[in-house]
Structure 1
């Protein structure tokens, strides 16, 4: 299967060739012909599956065959949950459409609205936007939605998670009834099906693979550790494993700033992206990480949506996510396009229920590897994935030997599941990521 066989025009094929794209991914193979044919689409696809090209390529081709957008009008609207994802999707659209007479633009909050209003006066063929900023522009008559031919909802599940349901309803009400609608989500939850009901016309349903399939190629393991020693353990592993660049996920904005401060105190180049930082500062941090100038990028889940980096060898969950689905989104940033990747989770006893939820979602028990010298004092009873967890009060354990203790710590399914790194050390790896 080639991109040419999917019906794409030469200008798009030229751009893909320059980018080194050779073989379509499963989502692209199914989505591109359907979108070119004008079909509505519901697609379940994880980050890293090539879904952006799956909708952007055929949308750009359809737009290139029509008239240019008029003043304050847009012809295709791509809605995304975060500023970072808006920038990423827009950058991809510009690359794909380099040889097409199609104008593109991105609009999102956190920056001045005035330049966006001025740009939209000339009309835009394809606009990538966050729901909040889109409605700000719409209510100020900076853009018209009545001429939209194609609507794309990217990461629709995340938009609902972030509370954009009312904004989406307002957007749908302002759009013309006759349009093509493409909905992309990590899963087909009841909420997603409800969102689609009555708004998509006989959509083609695509589910590329089981929702946890994209993480199976990634080496994943959990390192038991007491909460107060997580920072110390991370610094030890960073040096001991000779890691290169690492993307680190934390639960809170405060936690991100505290970890960065500790790393910088050790003369380690680190930066953070989270919701309290200005958009310009977040973009600078991401650009510096992609350029290899920053070794450790610390991020919260919401701020990290849309991060797209090639050849990222390690992702570390400093804190486990509250929502199990976010674990898949997090670790999907390593091991892309067949490359090897590692996802390491530093887990304390308080996080046992969160770990259980992740393992239940994955339908597997993550391997445990205690670090000698960092064995936890506080342990919790075992609960196999699929069994409801009942958190119990942690209690001190004694007689540690530096090995995992089956039956005493979270998720040990059998004696072989727990082991110290002294008996089975993860492969060392490093290297720089490349910005896509």
Structure 2
């Protein structure tokens, strides 16, 4: 049988062929790849939110992978080798992910930075934060270095997220920050610069802020940013999540938490807030050292630890600069760095980066480096000057033994600071051991510093500033039971800095003067009481008065009264001080102060004749030679006199102009006449003479006026005549020379120049006259006459 086509079979006869087959419904199209990606992201965010709200960290699990984090954050943590969480991270991150406010406290080096950076990234990621949403997270730190450190960690762990982050700190161009500020999703800033942008930068809004982080909150308040922080909080919305972290929990921090946090979860804040846990791998030591021996001990310590990384704390920036500059010139054999608040921002960042990347270095710093900065592998923290309180000591020594590494700390205490500082540290639960410094291992550098101060005036000047700043810092410390400025050996301390003498401390002098003034008032009151009682006072009163005088370091009442009476009868007249005396008395000159003292020591005649300049005698009356010498030596500023005065000073009294009458008698031009002779003909005659004189002068003025008008008229006519000549000159010249375009001749238009006519020089050529538009429009070319053509032909023939 022949094969039947399949089409015929499908349409053949049969009971089923009469019925129309039902059409199948078209299947739903498969989702495209980008739609699948959106669905997966949405599902991921929902799963993350649900997991974060129900997450409870089991005991024994400390890995970051166990947390309900996004894949971007986990990749960033893995890239930076962050695997295991610390105590503060394991306790605070799950709470922060739920959206609760956190009040965290932990010891230094425990990883508080990641404890608030990870929740910040996760919260913005789950809320699909984008560039169009504006600022979503704000992180405030007390110092620029800490802000830079936080920003670098944020860039490292958030490199797989799509957020834009910015750093706003002082020391940079405000205009550059303004241009980028409105595009930032995460901002790391210091309080002062942030408030400046909030007040001055147009378009910078914080209305959609989601997360606020206050890092090292106690330090922010200690640095005087309390009012700034209150102003910042007033700009921020109330519906935000706040994370507050600090190494120490003070009363001011608790007050700030009450103002800025809503039902916070306290992490690491126990019942005994005064007890602070320090790392077990940190060995802490203290030693008793005299003030004038501190630099010797520091130099010897550096020479014995050349292969170590040491952080040295001093109380002021001027001390840091002096120690750095002097030790740098002495070349200890290890790189030296310095960090203080008076440096420029670029220099501070350079010092921070160098010390972070160095294996062996010495960094001299103030308390600006005591909070939050993470210097890796610091072996020693040496506190040359005692900290102001136990909290500052904890922050300083916390720069070493961070995370799982070990470290050592050394604290140098004065004998007067020992009892008070050790008691304060013991109250905070800090265990510190005593260590003795071997005198045989200590080398004195006093002579070296004196030599540097003598050779380099800058070292001497820095030493003077360092001396005053240290005494001032001790005087300003609030705990007077520990810091006693009256017991400081200032003379020996100045010698240890290489100074030739003890600089004057003005603020102590003012206080002493105030004490003497109060003492004199007390003496006056006692004297008044003695006079009122008839000279009888009790023994107790006299004893108390004498004790008070001895305690204040003033004179006794009898000596005071005797001195006052002597001063009243014989008042002293201090010698006048010139500006040169004041200049030589300053302590910040480029030469030693002792040398300046010799220059103005008037008791020694030889010194006065050899160095001191004698004042010139400007009497100008002795002789002509002496006068001329003095005039030539005067400065230009003193010669700002009138010409007459200078001539008088040089040649004496100037000559007088005399006139002679008909009899040959000499008279001055203007001389006074005797009043009797003047009025001998009566007052009317005087008035008549005045009237005649006025009429004569009036006639002279009229003649002069007529003459002036005639001269002005002649000048005007002469000017007009010259202008007409200038306008007429070029036209006549054109008529004489013919038209500008001459007709072509047999020699192809070449015309032999006329050498017989005198040619005008360039200076004699007058500029073309100015013509109006109408004259230019209706001007006609000049026609050449027959006489001109004949003259031209004649000239051509002559030239041949």
Select the residue among 53, 64, 71 that pairs with 2:114. 53
- Contact 1:274–1:302 under 8 Å retained in 2: yes
What is the deviation of 1:75?
0.8
Select the residue among 165, 177, 190 that pairs with 1:130. 190
1:317 aligns with 2:383: yes
Counterparts in 2 of 1:36-435, with a 5 A limit? 36-65=97-126, 66-70=128-132, 73-121=134-182, 123-142=183-202, 143-207=204-268, 212-268=276-332, 269-292=335-358, 295-352=361-418, 353-373=420-440
- Per the alignment, in what secondary structure is the counterpart of residue 260 of structure 2? coil
CA distance in 2 between partners of 1:337 and 1:206 (Å): 18
- Per the alignment, in what secondary structure is the counterpart of residue 197 of structure 1? helix
Distance change (3 Å), C-alpha of 1:227 and 1:120: same
CA distance in 2 between partners of 1:362 and 1:54 (Å): 25
Report Cα offsets for 1:254-274 as digits up to 9, x if no partner: 110111122202224212111
How many pairs align? 382
- Contact 2:89–2:111 under 8 Å retained in 1: yes
- Contact 2:377–2:400 under 8 Å retained in 1: yes
Distance change (3 Å), C-alpha of 1:179 and 1:256: same
What is the deviation of 1:53?
0.2
Aligned to 1:407: none
Report Cα offsets for 1:161-196 as digits up to 9, x if no partner: 011111111111111111111111223322112112
Distance change (3 Å), C-alpha of 1:240 and 1:263: same
Distance change (3 Å), C-alpha of 1:371 and 1:131: same
Q: Looking at CA atoms only, which structure, 1 or 2, has the larger radius of gyration? A: 2
- Contact 1:272–1:298 under 8 Å retained in 2: yes
- Per the alignment, in what secondary structure is the counterpart of residue 77 of structure 1? strand
- Contact 1:107–1:129 under 8 Å retained in 2: yes
What is the deviation of 1:47?
2.5
CA distance in 2 between partners of 1:350 and 1:118 (Å): 54
What is the deviation of 1:366?
2.9
- Contact 2:101–2:262 under 8 Å retained in 1: yes
Report Cα offsets for 1:319-338 as digits up to 9, x if no partner: 11112211111111111122
Q: What RMSD, in angstroms, separates the aligned Cα atoms of the two structures?
A: 2.4
CA distance in 1 between partners of 2:307 and 2:426 (Å): 26
- Per the alignment, in what secondary structure is the counterpart of residue 362 of structure 1? coil
Distance change (3 Å), C-alpha of 1:170 and 1:147: same
CA distance in 1 between partners of 2:276 and 2:179 (Å): 43
CA distance in 1 between partners of 2:441 and 2:317 (Å): 26
CA distance in 2 between partners of 1:333 and 1:391 (Å): 25
Question: What's the TM-score once normalised by structure 2's chain length?
Answer: 0.46
Question: What's the TM-score once normalised by structure 1's chain length?
Answer: 0.82
Report Cα offsets for 1:54-100 as digits up to 9, x if no partner: 110111111123221438x3110011111111101111111110111
- Per the alignment, in what secondary structure is the counterpart of residue 124 of structure 1? coil
* Structure 2 residue ranges without an equivalent (≥5): 1-60, 443-479, 490-800
What is the deviation of 1:302?
2.3
Distance change (3 Å), C-alpha of 1:190 and 1:117: same
CA distance in 1 between partners of 2:195 and 2:429 (Å): 37
Select the residue among 7, 20, 25 that pairs with 2:86. 25
Report Cα offsets for 1:96-154 as digits up to 9, x if no partner: 10111111111011222111111113x21110111110111111134211111111111
Report Cα offsets for 1:338-367 as digits up to 9, x if no partner: 211110112222433334423432343432
- Contact 2:105–2:246 under 8 Å retained in 1: yes
- Contact 2:284–2:432 under 8 Å retained in 1: no
Distance change (3 Å), C-alpha of 1:339 and 1:365: closer
Structure with the larger RCO, 1 or 2 (CA within 8 Å, 6+ apart): 1
CA distance in 1 between partners of 2:417 and 2:165 (Å): 44
What is the deviation of 1:39?
0.7
Report Cα offsets for 1:1-34 as digits up to 9, x if no partner: 2112121222211121122212100111111111
Report Cα offsets for 1:174-233 as digits up to 9, x if no partner: 111111111112233221121121431211110178753234421111122211121111
- Per the alignment, in what secondary structure is the counterpart of residue 387 of structure 2? coil
> Which is strand-richer, 1 or 2?
1
* Structure 1 residue ranges without an equivalent (≥5): 376-387, 397-436
> Which is helix-richer, 1 or 2?
2
- Contact 1:221–1:368 under 8 Å retained in 2: yes
